[in-house]
Each structure stands twice: as C-alpha cells, then as structure tokens.
Amino acid sequence: MTNTSTTDNTAVEYDKVLLHASVKLNTRLLAGVFGFVSGLSLFVITYISMYRGMPDTGQYLRLLGVFLPGYEVSHFGAWVGFFWGAIIGALLAAMFYRIYARSIPDLIKAYLRDGARNDDLLGMPMQLSGHYLGLALGTIISAGLVVTTNWLVIRGTADESTHAQLLVNFLPGYSVSTVGSFIGAIELFIITYVLSLLFSWIYNNVVAFRGKK
C-alpha cells in the first residue's frame, strides 16, 4: 500500500493520504484567515494614522512603501496595503503551517501509542508543540529579516536606512548589510524559538488546567 505510512521506531500505521489532505486543507484555511486579518490590519492602521491628527501624517508608516510597491498613507494606499497585507499574510501563514504540520505525525503516534479510545479523541482541545512552533515562526521571521535587509542592500539604500539600523538595540551585531542580516537572523531565530517554547508552555498548561476543571 502506498497510502499507509509505518514508522519503524513506533510501529504505528496511519493513512498518509488522509494526513496530507488534512494538512492541505488547514494550510488553505489558515492562509485565507491570516491573509484577510493581515490585509485588514494594515488597512485599519493606515486609516488610524491618517485620522490621528499628527503633524506629519504617516511619517514612519509610509516607509512600508519601500517593501510594498504603491503603498502610501492615503485612502488609495490603504487599499494597496490591504492587497499586499493579504498576499503576504496568506503566504507567510501557508509557509508557517507547512513547517508546523511536521508536528502532526508525532501527535498521531502519541494518540495511537497511548491507545486512546475513540471517545477520548473527540473533543480534545489542540495541544501546541513548542519545538515545531519555534521552528516555524523562527524560520519565517528570520527569513523575513534577511529578505527585507538584503532588499535595502540591493536597492542601494542601506546607508540611508537609519530606522532598520535601530534593530541593533535589540539584536547586537545586526547591521543593514548581508553579513549583518544573517547575524540578526540567527539571534532573532533563537529569541523566537525561546518565546515559542514559553508560549506553548502557557497555552498547554491553561488547556490542561481548564480540562481538569
């Protein structure tokens, strides 16, 4: 059978086709939801910036136009921001879930190895894997830093990017250069990974606490 996976170490079998279809569906749903939320967030932030009554409207927010072609703090720019926010949000969410979904086979094996009865499985709240969450978020955020920094290098505005340079306050060794972007990315990955472990620990403990009640 080609659609059944057997792992040697646990001798647990599961339907790989069903798993693949589930992951594909979740990826699409997550991409859809996050695309919409990201687009809407940028849209709302743009309008808040316009109507907040600051002397120089969108002085910093408009810098996003460096990365999002056509974006500006205006009525039309808000829609451009919605478009780019939706596209980028959806892509990042899809990438995130594709990496995080690697935790699912472990979860299935744990369910089956523990001999969970059917009734036990139904209605169980999701458990988060801190390790895979850290890998997924860490990879995406670090890659984001490398891509955006090197975009500034490629367009020749690295020396003028004083705001990006401020990241050195949080990521020692970071600079708006190719080498600096990789140093920053490694640090950012570690920070994200540790925070993800903490995040998952809190989530799983609250779930367990509520389950006991």
Partner 1 sequence: MDKSNQDKAILMASFAKMDPVALAVALGCISGFIIFLATGLLLIQGAPEGQEIGPHLALLGIYLPGYEVTWPGAVLGAFYFGLMGVIAGFVIATLWNLTHYIYIVLTVARAVWWKMMAD
Binding residues for partner 1, rule: CB under 8 A, are 12-15, 18-19, 22-23, 25-26, 29-30, 32-33, 37, 45, 48-49, 52, 54, 60, 104, 107-108, 111-112, 116, 118, 121-127, 163, 166, 169-170, 195, 198-200, 202-204, 206-207, 210
Rg of the chain over all Cα atoms, to the nearest angstrom: 21
Give φ, ψ of 160 to 5 degrees: -85, -10
Q: Shortest distance, CB of residue 8 to partner 1, whole angstroms? A: 15
C-beta of 155 vs 163, nearer to partner 1: 163
Cα separation of 135 and 14, whole Å? 24
C-beta of 153 vs 207, nearer to partner 1: 207
C-beta of 44 vs 154, nearer to partner 1: 44
C-beta of 18 vs 190, nearer to partner 1: 18
Q: Shortest distance, CB of residue 107 to partner 1, whole angstroms? A: 4
C-beta of 2 vs 118, nearer to partner 1: 118
Cα separation of 137 and 134, whole Å? 5
Q: Shortest distance, CB of residue 128 to partner 1, whole angstroms? A: 8
C-beta of 118 vs 156, nearer to partner 1: 118
Burial class (CB in 10 A: 0-12, 13-18, 19+), 38: buried
Q: Shortest distance, CB of residue 125 to partner 1, whole angstroms? A: 4
Residues ≥6 apart with Cβ < 8 Å to 11: none
Q: Shortest distance, CB of residue 72 to partner 1, whole angstroms? A: 18
Q: Shortest distance, CB of residue 197 to partner 1, whole angstroms? A: 11
Handedness of CA 167, 168, 174, 175 (dihedral sign): positive
Q: Which of 103, 78, 189, 102 is nearest to 144 (CA)?
A: 189
On the CB side of 210, CA atoms within 13 Å amount to 10
User: Can you tell me which residue has the tokens 């490398």?
Assistant: 146
